[in-house]
Amino acid sequence: HPHTSSGRIPTDLGYRFFVNNIKTTSSDASGYFHVISSIYLRCGREIERILKDIVELLASSTNSMSIVIAPSIKSYVLKHVEVLSVDEERTMLVLITTSGDVLKKQFNRSRIFNALDLQRATNILNAAFNGLEISMVRKTDLHISESDYGLLPLVNQLMSEVSECVGDFEEKRIFTHVASEIFKEPEFDDLKKIRSLLEILEQKYYLMNIVDRKISRSEVLVKIGQENEITEMQNLSFVATHFNYRGFPTGAIGVIGPKRMDYPRVISAIKYVGQSLSDYLSSSD
């Protein structure tokens, strides 16, 4: 932490001088290794589950508010579609890309179909979608043989569910998490300040634009107090970085907290987690 002098709180410029002179190493965040490894082991290639766990980890470990911007995967190629019966009413749709990533969606079937019907419908989808970029799936016409016409209601519903599932992943999405400990900080000693933080959550797409525009200029972005464009954040600090997905910097992680946050710890955490995500999501395992 920057030290106060004679009880005075450092100015934004004082914090900036301190941050500009921080030297961090990968060992500063080595405690994250086992936790993140367990997340990967538990979630496999389910990107959304990984990012939701990561955003909770960052918030709880830094006692702050964390934000994760999920990458768009619209340019990635579908390898396989699976349609699984969960129970008498619910069905699980599973989309697997050539890179091994998994998208899942549950829905209620509009009519009763047996396991053989589900398999035949799955075969129709795989014949149409295999090798297609995700962005092309919703524009694809299905070819259904005369013997499969009785499956049209099921196939049409599956197409609708596939389109919805793909749509969820075509654009960048944002996950946020707020650690309850942040509200014990002096910066949030009244309801007005708490309300301001919650309003930031409502402006998270504006935050996404800031991240996309600013982070590319530096490895880790640190904005302190008045450096923040959002009025509600001008009593706070924002630390963020990009992570790569299949070699492209399409996602981002960040932490929002008090200006007197533990900058060396937070910056080290952001750098380590960002690099870890890049390595894992860019692998083909």
Q: Does position 140 have pLDDT exceeding 70, yes or no?
A: yes
Residue 115 confidence (pLDDT): 83
Mean pLDDT within 201-218 = 65
Kindly report the CATH class assigned to 78-170: alpha beta
- In whole angstroms, what is the distance from residue 262 CA to residue 267 CA? 9
pLDDT tens readout for residues 47-61: 888 999 999 999 999
Does 72 or 244 have the greater pLDDT score?
244
Residue 267 confidence (pLDDT): 92
Architecture per CATH, domain 12-71+172-281, reads as 2-Layer Sandwich (3.30)
Q: Where are the domains of the chain?
A: 12-71+172-281, 78-170
pLDDT tens readout for residues 226-247: 998 877 788 889 999 988 876 6
Longest C-alpha distance within the chain, in Å? 85
The share of the chain scoring above pLDDT 70, in percent, equals: 83
- pTM over 0.85? The answer is no
Mean pLDDT within 100-111 = 81
Decide if 259 contacts 227 (C-beta within 8 A): no
DSSP string, 143-193: ---GGGGGGHHHHHHHHHHHHHHHHHHHS-EEEEEE-GGGGGSGGGSSHHH
pLDDT tens readout for residues 13-47: 999 999 988 887 655 677 888 899 999 999 887 88
- In whole angstroms, what is the distance from residue 24 CA to residue 266 CA? 10
